[in-house]
């Protein structure tokens, strides 16, 4: 690279031309260029560049200063021949540099080549490819830069570590040299919690006849895991330890390690119903048919891309249903919400959770973090022939962790974005889905309305086709409206399409590639109540709505809301994707958001009813398995709020599972609208659910973030509940010191505010903590104090908890008879049948 230009991010940031450093200017220019390089060939908003320079507090002149920095970069780089291009685009900038000139891009390409070689059964070649990428690193990524840009590049550090793990694993499998052992020893010292590195080091030591050192490494790692995380070594590491004890370590096979399955695997059949009337996609279907090839030479990944509403999902599902029999081990489907008008894309970590649980992995066995979940996902699919449809992807980074590695698996991705990097790094075949040719679009309209009607008014039908620009969504919606009003002449619809303005979300090069006019036609056929519901859906950022939530939005009984929802689905302005639950396509949602913004006066009370619906329904559900939440005093719900009350704990868990994404979105909404009490109370309810589902890391992060907000605002009531909840969560994590700090803080705040019930609850949980610490005498004193309060105020459920603590601790102190009496008293307080 010394004869050309090179952009170097993998270490101190520098740009070289002919081997000499290019002078870029000051800190601001360097941060802007580094951020653009991290998003090479993708647009970057001006506000994101400002955040990279100034963090969360950019000055009022940030936009102008970013523009000046870009201008200075253009001048500096303009002196370098053929360096690339820095374009100005609406709302931001796009850097266009050939990937081979960026060390980070070359590193990613080397890693992708290594993974391809693994899939092809060449682990030695894979190790060489990984090494070729790893030698590009000169130090920590962007080592001499500060601020948010380094945080945004942290994924490269994680990729580096994962590549190192892969590389060393395959080098050890092929026969580890002494230098590899030394490298592994140094890495394990720096990263003692990365069990793959530990396993490779143990195997390498054993193969060099150093079994005692390998055993010592395992025992040291087990101690660190217990002290730092309160967990035991993974089953894979424990198995490696057992192998070494037998003095016959076996080399691991190339690829992902097999999973020890102690649950019932599932063959999922998740494909949604295909849409009827697929027209004009014969060539595109033939491209997808290449995925059916069983040999390793065929593609394993096809990315269907094109503008919104062009029929990407329809094509993918139609084809997937047609070939489902070729994938007997399951068909997985996941909407990644990459371009949702009012919600965030599904994070890779959450997507992987849904995928592995769909394959039968119990929720409590799903690890935290993208790397661990991705490894589990690949391992579960290792010997299967399955089909994966990833719909509505945001970008390649969202998709890449979700790709299976098994040779028998095939993946179809749909996206509005250009995911060209997947073709470079993952051998994806890109399929651009264009607008329908006029004849095919006319055939689609005829299929929906009947050949006779379109031939009877063919000039108007042809104009409708042209106005819809061959966009299947627009054609489908306008056809539904015309079919519902059979007496309307098609000329009326054509004239209306000519009069309306385009939907901004589809504004682009093709003037009529827009769906607003078509959607507005269906919207205007709605009755008053259904039209109101459609507009109000725009204030809801979650992925779907239950009929009860719709009733809350409208302030109506559930039965009336169900009829209103049915009117929306009949007009094809919503789809009932599960019994009692409906959702809007993202273009329809965008139109609803526009209408809701135009009529904001009727949205405020509806939004408050919806928030109260989720808050009070969440507490009705979560209190069934977390009784302590009864101590949280909720605000009175707004008039006409609909509250769902599950009949039992099974129904409560199901409600929480279904509504979890909506509850998370409601937490964001409450904060944006200043409903801070609703926000922290929702967080407490979510924490109770996440804890019971075994997702305690997520619960801790959620509570810690909310506690910071409560401290900043001085909300003492929120602080005492959040400290208490964090103490309980950390106690269950066996993070005893952290649990003690939070419980002590909660106790102090409860006493200061005169919350006697809260004091008793915290004392009880502190008593449980003392049991974990082996301080049973202290536990008895605390539990006895709490017991007095519970008996005085007739709280039998909490009294039973205190008695159980007393029963255990007194027995541990040697008074077994008294302990038995306490436990018997606790049992007598349990309700019948519990």
- What are 326-366's pLDDT values in tens digits? 899 999 999 998 876 445 788 899 999 999 999 988 887 88
CATH of domain 1-174: 1.10.10.10
Cα dihedral sign for 815, 820, 825, 826? Answer: positive
**Ordered strands of the 575-578 beta sheet:** 545-546, 581-583, 575-578
Q: Which CATH class is domain 282-432?
A: alpha beta
Coil/strand/helix, residue 8: strand
Would you give the DSSP letter of residue 293? Answer: -
Would you give the DSSP letter of residue 273? Answer: P
Interaxial angle between packed helices 312-323 and 282-289, expressed in degrees from 0 to 180 and rounded to the nearest 10: 50
For residue 23, give every residue at least 6 positions away whose Cβ sits within 8 Å of its Cβ, in sequence order, or none: 76
Per-residue model confidence (pLDDT) at position 514: 46
Per-residue model confidence (pLDDT) at position 246: 64
418 neighbors 96 (Cβ within 8 angstroms): no
256 neighbors 286 (Cβ within 8 angstroms): no
Radius of gyration in angstroms for the set of CA atoms belonging to the chain, rounded to a whole number? 30
615 neighbors 667 (Cβ within 8 angstroms): no
Would you give the DSSP letter of residue 80? Answer: S
User: Could you tell me the CA-to-CA distances from 354 to 164, 234, 358, 359, 389 in Å, in that order?
Assistant: 28, 22, 6, 9, 13
Closest among 491, 484, 584 to 526, alpha carbons compared: 484
Q: How far separated are the first and last CA of the chain, in Å rounded?
A: 72
Interaxial angle between packed helices 490-499 and 516-524, expressed in degrees from 0 to 180 and rounded to the nearest 10: 120
- The pTM for the full model equals 0.52
Domain boundaries, the chain: 1-174, 282-432, 438-524
Closest among 112, 147, 146 to 129, alpha carbons compared: 112
Q: DSSP string of 346-414?
A: PPHHHHHHHHHHHTT--GGGPPSSHHHHHHHHHHHTTT---EEEEEEE--HHHHGGG----TT-EEEEE
Residues (pLDDT < 70) of the chain are 1-3, 176, 246-263, 276-277, 294-297, 308, 340-343, 469, 497-522, 525, 572, 585-587, 598-602, 830-834
Per-residue model confidence (pLDDT) at position 569: 80
Block residue for tokens 């070939």:
323
Degrees to nearest 5, angle at CA 756 with 752 and 761: 105
Q: How many Å apart are CA 39 and CA 48, to the nearest integer?
A: 11
Q: How many Å apart are CA 591 and CA 335, to the nearest integer?
A: 20
Measured torsion, CA atoms of residues 43, 46, 49, 51, in degrees rounded to the nearest 10: -130
Question: How many Cβ atoms sit within 10 Å of the Cβ of residue 318?
Answer: 18
Closest among 659, 608, 662, 656 to 635, alpha carbons compared: 608
Block residue for tokens 């009947």:
450
**Ordered strands of the 331-335 beta sheet:** 331-335, 387-393, 410-415, 301-305, 429-432
73 neighbors 37 (Cβ within 8 angstroms): no
**Ordered strands of the 14-17 beta sheet:** 5-8, 14-17, 20-21
Structure token pair of residue 788? 């007095």
Interaxial angle between packed helices 490-499 and 458-467, expressed in degrees from 0 to 180 and rounded to the nearest 10: 30
With 0-12 / 13-18 / 19 or more C-beta atoms within 10 angstroms meaning exposed / middle / buried, residue 766 is buried
Q: How many Å apart are CA 709 and CA 126, to the nearest integer?
A: 47
Q: What phi, psi does 443 have (nearest 5°)?
A: -65, -35
341 neighbors 590 (Cβ within 8 angstroms): yes
- State pLDDT tens for residues 243-264: 777 654 344 434 444 444 556 7
Structure token pair of residue 240? 């490696």
Element (H, E) at 86: strand 85-89
Measured torsion, CA atoms of residues 447, 453, 456, 460, in degrees rounded to the nearest 10: -70
Structure token pair of residue 667? 């937490």
Cα dihedral sign for 395, 400, 403, 407? Answer: positive
Closest among 785, 786, 812, 809 to 797, alpha carbons compared: 786
Q: How many Å apart are CA 401 and CA 551, to the nearest integer?
A: 38
List the beta strands (DSSP E) in 529-641. Answer: 545-546, 575-578, 581-583
């Amino acid at each position: 690279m010394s004869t050309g230009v090179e952009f170097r991010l993998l270490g101190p940031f520098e740009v070289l031309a002919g081997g000499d450093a290019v002078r870029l200017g000051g800190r601001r220019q360097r941060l802007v260029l580094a951020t653009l390089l991290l998003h090479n060939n993708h647009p970057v908003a001006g506000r994101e560049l400002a955040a990279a320079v100034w963090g969360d507090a950019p000055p009022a002149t940030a936009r102008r200063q970013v523009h000046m920095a870009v201008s200075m970069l253009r001048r500096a780089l303009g002196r370098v021949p053929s360096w690339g291009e820095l374009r100005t685009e609406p709302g931001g900038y796009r850097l266009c540099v050939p990937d081979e000139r960026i060390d980070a891009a070359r590193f990613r390409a080397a890693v992708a080549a290594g993974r391809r070689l693994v899939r092809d059964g060449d682990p030695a070649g894979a190790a060489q490819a990984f090494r070729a990428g790893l030698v590009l690193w000169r130090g920590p990524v962007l080592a001499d830069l500060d601020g948010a840009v380094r945080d945004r590049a942290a994924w490269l550090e994680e990729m580096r570590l994962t590549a190192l793990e892969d590389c060393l694993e395959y080098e050890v499998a092929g026969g580890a040299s002494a230098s590899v052992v030394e490298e592994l020893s140094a890495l394990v010292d720096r990263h003692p919690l990365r069990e793959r590195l530990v396993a490779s080091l143990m195997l390498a030591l054993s193969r060099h006849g150093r079994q005692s050192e390998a055993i010592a490494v395992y025992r040291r790692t087990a101690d660190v895991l217990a002290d730092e995380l309160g967990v035991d070594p993974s089953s894979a590491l424990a198995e490696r330890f057992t192998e070494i004890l037998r003095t016959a370590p076996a080399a691991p096979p190339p690829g992902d390690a097999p999973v020890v399955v102690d649950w019932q695997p599932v063959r999922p059949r998740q494909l949604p119903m295909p849409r009827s009337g697929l027209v004009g996609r014969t060539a595109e279907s033939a491209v997808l048919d290449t995925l059916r090839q069983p040999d390793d030479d065929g593609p394993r990944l096809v990315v269907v891309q094109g503008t919104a509403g062009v029929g990407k999902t329809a094509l993918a599902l139609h084809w997937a249903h047609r070939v489902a029999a070729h994938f007997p081990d399951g068909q997985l489907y996941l909407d990644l919400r990459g371009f949702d008008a009012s919600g965030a894309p599904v994070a890779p970590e959450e997507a992987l959770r849904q995928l592995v649980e769909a394959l039968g992995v119990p929720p409590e066995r799903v690890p935290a973090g993208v790397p661990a979940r991705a490894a589990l996902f690949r391992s579960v699919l290792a010997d299967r022939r399955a089909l994966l449809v990833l719909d509505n992807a945001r970008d390649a980074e969202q998709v890449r962790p979700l790709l299976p590695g098994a040779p028998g698996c095939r993946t179809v991705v749909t996206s509005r974005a250009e995911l060209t990097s997947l073709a470079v790094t993952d051998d994806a075949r890109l399929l651009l889905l264009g607008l329908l040719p006029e004849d095919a679009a006319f055939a689609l309209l005829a299929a929906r309305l009947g050949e006779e009607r379109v031939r009877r008014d063919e000039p108007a039908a042809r104009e409708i086709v042209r106005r819809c620009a061959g966009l299947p969504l627009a054609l489908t919606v306008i056809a539904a409206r015309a079919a519902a009003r059979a007496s309307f002449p098609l000329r009326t619809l054509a004239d209306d399409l000519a009069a309306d303005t385009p939907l901004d979300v589809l504004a682009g090069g093709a003037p009529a590639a827009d769906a607003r006019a078509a959607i507005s036609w269906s919207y205007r056929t709605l009755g008053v109540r259904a039209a109101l519901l459609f507009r109000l859906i725009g204030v809801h950022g979650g992925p779907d709505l239950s009929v009860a939530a719709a009733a809350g939005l409208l302030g109506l009984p559930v039965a009336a809301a169900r009829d209103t929802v049915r009117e929306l689905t009949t007009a094809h302005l919503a789809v009932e994707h599960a019994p009692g639950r409906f959702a809007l396509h993202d273009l329809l949602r965008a139109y609803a958001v526009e209408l809701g913004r135009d009529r904001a006066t009727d949205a405020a009370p509806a939004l408050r009813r919806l928030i109260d619906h989720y808050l009070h329904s969440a507490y009705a559900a979560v209190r069934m398995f977390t009784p302590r939440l009864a101590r949280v005093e909720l605000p009175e719900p707004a008039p006409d709020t609909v509250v769902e009350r599950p009949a039992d704990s099974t129904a409560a868990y199901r409600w929480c599972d279904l509504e979890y994404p909506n509850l998370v979105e409601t937490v964001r909404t409450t904060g944006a609208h200043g409903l801070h009490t609703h926000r922290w109370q929702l967080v407490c309810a979510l924490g109770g659910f996440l804890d019971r589902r075994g997702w305690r890391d997520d619960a801790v992060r959620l509570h810690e973030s909310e506690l910071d907000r409560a401290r900043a605002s001085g909300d003492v009531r929120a602080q005492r509940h959040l400290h208490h909840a964090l103490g309980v969560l950390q106690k269950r994590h066996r993070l005893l010191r952290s649990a003690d700090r939070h419980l002590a803080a909660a106790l102090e705040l409860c006493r200061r505010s005169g919350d006697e019930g809260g004091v008793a609850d915290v004392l009880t949980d502190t008593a449980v903590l003392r049991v974990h610490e082996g301080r049973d005498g202290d536990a008895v004193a605390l539990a006895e104090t709490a017991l007095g309060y519970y008996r005085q105020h007739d709280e039998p459920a909490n009294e039973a908890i205190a008695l159980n603590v007393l029963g255990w601790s007194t027995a541990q102190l040697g008074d077994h008879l008294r302990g038995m009496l306490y436990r018997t008293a606790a049992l007598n307080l349990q309700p019948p049948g519990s």
